[in-house]
Amino acid sequence: SGGDLGSFGPGQMVKEFDTVVFSAPVGVVQGPVKTQFGYHLLEVTSRQD
């Protein structure tokens, strides 16, 4: 899926993702973010409040 994780809510991914994606502005690339799975670049493309 090209790295697209789709929609998810708090607590559904590793805590390092939650910390970044639920505070990041839409459209800004964040990272690198280190998790137990490696390093990641994250971009929030939309948000449903």
| pTM assigned to the model | 0.81
CA dist., res. 35 & res. 26, Å (int): 21
Check residue 49 and give its pLDDT: 72
Check residue 36 and give its pLDDT: 96
Give the three-class secondary structure for 41.
strand
CA dist., res. 6 & res. 45, Å (int): 10
Identify residue 34 by its one-letter amino acid code. Answer: K
Residue in this structure with the two tokens 């690339």, named with its chain if needed = 29
Check residue 44 and give its pLDDT: 94
Tens-digit pLDDT profile for residues 1-49:
688 999 999 999 999 999 999 999 999 999 999 999 999 999 999 998 7
